[in-house]
Amino acid sequence: MELLQAVKERKSTRAFLSNPVPGPVVEEILQYVIHAPSAINLQPWEFTVVMGEERERLSRRLIKAYREKNISCSPGNVKPLADTFNRRGIECVKLMTPYISKLGATFDAFINEGSCNFYGAPVAIILTLDNAFSKARLVDMGIALGYLILVAHSYGLGSCPIGLINAYEDDIKDVLNIPEHKSVVIGVALGYPDPSSPVNTYKSPRDSLDNFVRWFD
């Protein structure tokens, strides 16, 4: 698949088939991902791949933690957002809700519990960063994440970045034996998209380029 085609076609998948993804395929994808650039080639990323019964065990723990703590998905901003950003978020919720309603679910329940369950994907990949690095290295993690979801798409796999799991970092570390000096940055749901699910027909729109770019000639 051509790179530009993958960039244009890729969208977040929130319903997956139960078909397992072979371990060697995941390994091939990650072999491409680690070609991502990083500051002075530090390559700070670390990946924990969770499959099979271990993935299900992790999800059970996260769903339990969500129901106890009730920490929901949010943009995580530390100050009020400008109207432009708020508008995009409100529009996304409004546009996605009818697709979720077709599943007989509410938006909040589907997104929050779905995130904790990696939307039923057979593979969960947890990206971690050693605390010895500064927060600036989260930029490198973001680049690696971009590679991951694009390479996965080129393999015919769906993916969805899962940010909510940060709120349940202690539970993740406990289940997966991740050392205390590592920070959970983000998770990724990975698997074969369920073509019959209404939610997978939704694709978030993008705003006009004029709202993002300033030109100096």
Which pLDDT tens digit goes with each residue over 16-55?
999 999 999 999 999 999 999 999 999 999 999 999 999 9
Which pLDDT tens digit goes with each residue over 138-157?
999 999 999 999 999 999 99
CA-CA distance, 188 to 29, in Å (whole number)? 13
pTM, whole model, 2 decimals? 0.94
Domain extent, residue 31, equals 3-71+81-203
Q: What is the CATH number of the domain that holds 194?
A: 3.40.109.10
Q: What average pLDDT does the segment 126-136 reach?
A: 97
The confidence band for 74, taking pLDDT boundaries of 50, 70 and 90, is: low
Q: What average pLDDT does the segment 57-78 reach?
A: 84
155 found inside a domain? yes
213 found inside a domain? no
Q: H or E stretch including 24?
A: helix 23-33
Do residues 127 and 185 make contact, with C-beta atoms less than 8 angstroms apart?
A: yes
33 found inside a domain? yes
149 found inside a domain? yes
217 found inside a domain? no
Tell me how many domains the chain contains: 1
pLDDT at residue 11, as a whole number = 95
CA-CA distance, 132 to 195, in Å (whole number)? 42
CA-CA distance, 87 to 89, in Å (whole number)? 5
Residues 6+ apart with CB under 8 A from 159: 12, 13, 148, 149, 152, 153, 188, 189, 190
